[in-house]
Amino acid sequence: MCALAKCDYIFGPLSTFSMWAPFYGNHPMLSLDRGNQRIERDHFQVSDLQTIP
């Protein structure tokens, strides 16, 4: 988890494991929810901690 939190960008399935790393490291994340989803830099977001997906 600590190693993942040091990554510049994090992407993965919508799960608590993949969401803790960007929260802990304050880095942008992209949740993959479709098999054909394009991974683009402007789709990554830093959690604002105001809403829980």
pLDDT computed for residue 40 by the predictor: 87
State in Å, rounded, how far the first CA of the chain is from the last one.
20
| Planar angle of CA 51, 28, 24, nearest 5 degrees | 75
pLDDT value for 52: 54
What pLDDT digit, counting tens, does each position of 1-53 carry?
A: 788 888 899 888 888 888 888 888 888 998 887 778 888 888 888 876 555 55
C-alpha torsion sign, points 53, 27, 8, 4: negative
For residue 28, the tally of other CB atoms under 10 A from its CB is: 18
Asked whether 24 and 43 are in contact (CB, 8 A), the reply is: no
